[in-house]
Amino acid sequence: YMGSGRARASVEAAPPPRTMVCAGGGRIGPALLLLLASPLRRGFSSLQVNFLHPEFERRPSQIVTQANMKVEILPALTDNEKLVKMEPGLQVYGGDSRVGALTQKVSHLTTFQVGSLNVKCLSTPCHTSGHICYFVTKPNSSEPPAVFTGDTLFVAGCGKFFEGTPEEMYRALIEVLGRLPSETKVYCGHEYTINNLKFARHVEPNNTAIQRKLSWAKAKYDGGEATIPSTIGEEFTYNPFMRVREAPVQHHVRETDPVRTMGAIRKEKDSFKVPKD
């Protein structure tokens, strides 16, 4: 994801911010590049983007034109150190010392700015022990806030508990992310929407919100469109990991405690065979 906190009219008059925000350390380093307000030496007319996920190394370069901006998608850089060498002085924020080229280590409720954007760090350890989500607002704007959730919250799903516990994921989803404004847009690190919704349907076959969202997601996929973002409010209607306090989800795993339900749902999801429909 890329964001700039400067108005288009002023972007050429003042140096843009140079900030990279990482979701957290882990087995292959940061989960994703959350915000990159890169030095755009000629304003917004041309931009090169390097993806940091190894998956993109297998994809060809391409040119995308959108909103009068030429965007060149280049092969992936495999670590932050290479990107920092390309852009000396780049600030790298993260919540884990394993984040490559880290310059600013953050913790829960740390705040900073990217241009006019206000960023609040939310500690959500579980997928990785140092995982941070980023809650972004813009003063005096009618746009809803956004949260960049990395590998913690996906559309209709959540990340595996590689370095954490059901208690930690419950806190992350329900007590931290779940308390954000319901209209907050959710930008996650991976798009597993259809498979996640098929599992959600398995857990709650009579949930009409899941059925509607799955039909919508399939149509988006068939049209080559993304299913991201969702909103925090929507997630509470169809995401089984956000619904661990609801009776139908607890009944499915024969639990009455929401934390134990979280663990049971995650264990079942890890071995779930996705139907082909």
84 band by pLDDT with thresholds 50, 70 and 90: confident
- Say what the pLDDT of residue 98 is: 83
Tell me the mean pLDDT in the region 182-197.
95
Within-domain flag for 100: yes
Within-domain flag for 125: yes
Is the CB of residue 25 less than 8 Å from the CB of residue 101? Answer: no
Per-residue exposure over 227-261, b if at least 16 CB sit within 10 Å of its own CB, e if not: bbbbbbebbbbbbbbbbbbbeebbebbebeebbbb
Residue 216: CATH number of its domain: 3.60.15.10
Q: By mean pLDDT, which of 77-81, 129-133, 174-178 is the weakest? A: 77-81
For the segment 244-274, what is each residue's pLDDT rounded down to a tens digit? Answer: 999 999 999 999 999 999 999 999 999 999 9
- Say what the pLDDT of residue 100 is: 80
Within-domain flag for 167: yes
Helix, coil or strand: residue 64: strand
Within-domain flag for 3: no
For the segment 16-63, what is each residue's pLDDT rounded down to a tens digit? Answer: 444 444 433 333 333 333 333 333 333 444 444 444 443 334 343 333
Sign, CA dihedral 150-156-159-165, equals positive
Amino acid letter for position 66 = Q
For the segment 116-170, what is each residue's pLDDT rounded down to a tens digit? Answer: 889 999 999 999 999 999 999 999 999 999 999 989 999 999 999 999 999 999 9
- Whether the bond between 229 and the residue before it is cis, its omega within 30 degrees of 0, is yes
Cα of first residue to Cα of last residue in the chain, in angstroms, is 30
Percent of the chain residues topping a pLDDT of 70: 71
The parent domain of residue 173 ranges over: 19-39+56-271
Amino acid letter for position 168 = E
Predicted TM-score (pTM) of the model is 0.80
Pairing of the two strands 91-94 and 104-105: parallel
Within-domain flag for 248: yes
86-93's contacts with Cβ under 8 Å and 24+ in sequence apart are 86/50, 87/18, 87/38, 87/39, 89/18, 90/18, 90/19, 90/20, 91/18, 91/19, 91/20, 92/20, 92/21, 92/22, 93/19, 93/20, 93/21, 93/22, 93/121
Average pLDDT, the chain: 79
Helix, coil or strand: residue 268: helix
Task: Tokens for 110, please give them.
Answer: 């740390």
Is the CB of residue 31 less than 8 Å from the CB of residue 64? Answer: no
Within-domain flag for 7: no
For the segment 202-221, what is each residue's pLDDT rounded down to a tens digit? Answer: 999 999 999 999 999 999 99
Within-domain flag for 70: yes
Within-domain flag for 50: no
Q: How many domains in the chain?
A: 1
